[in-house]
Amino acid sequence: MLSDKIVLLDESATDDQEALAKLADRLIASGAVKASYKPAILQREIDFPTGLATDKIGIAIPHTDAEHVNYDQIGVLRLRDPVTFLQMGDGEKVPVKFVFMLALKEAHAQLGMLQTLVALIQNESKIQQLLLAKNAEEIIETLKSAGIK
């Protein structure tokens, strides 16, 4: 799922939609997703927000229907400055620093990946490694060590 190394570090965005669009564009360019993925992910974030507040930072885990996906891939975006996402479930505002965008071919795979990512974001040392990573390789190694292949 990390094969294309779609990792954007210290990008700037004015809002959640711009952040998502940047990452979706990279997934489209890689061939992992269809052109329909970008509008689908943007709309889904409006309908079903994906922000999660943690003790240290906010994280978003956007995903959409498998019909927009060519092959499994995860895109990672570390924002230079947090942007506001709405929190999953209650719609509270969350300043998000990391976006993990899921492109999964099988709908049932989303739950397992979400559980793995939730475990990751509850691990303070892994979050610190992600925040301090200097390049895409360090991000990918940290994710792999957390069970994301």
Burial class (CB in 10 A: 0-12, 13-18, 19+), 9: middle
Mean pLDDT highest for which of 16-25, 49-58, 109-118, 128-137? 16-25
**Greater model confidence, 110 or 91:** 91
Q: Domains, the chain, ranges and CATH?
A: 7-145 (3.40.930.10)
**Strand residues in the chain grouped as ranges (E):** 7-11, 51-53, 58-60, 73-86, 93-103
pTM of the full structure: 0.93
Question: How large is the average pLDDT for residues 56-67?
Answer: 92
pLDDT at 121 (0 to 100): 84
pLDDT at 129 (0 to 100): 93
pLDDT at 81 (0 to 100): 97
Residue 81: CB atoms within 10 A of its CB come to 10
In tens, the pLDDT along 1-18 reads 677 689 999 999 999 999
Question: How large is the average pLDDT for residues 85-96?
Answer: 94
Averaged pLDDT score across all residues of the chain: 92
Q: With pLDDT > 90 as the criterion, what percentage of the chain qualifies?
A: 73
In tens, the pLDDT along 22-33 reads 999 999 999 999
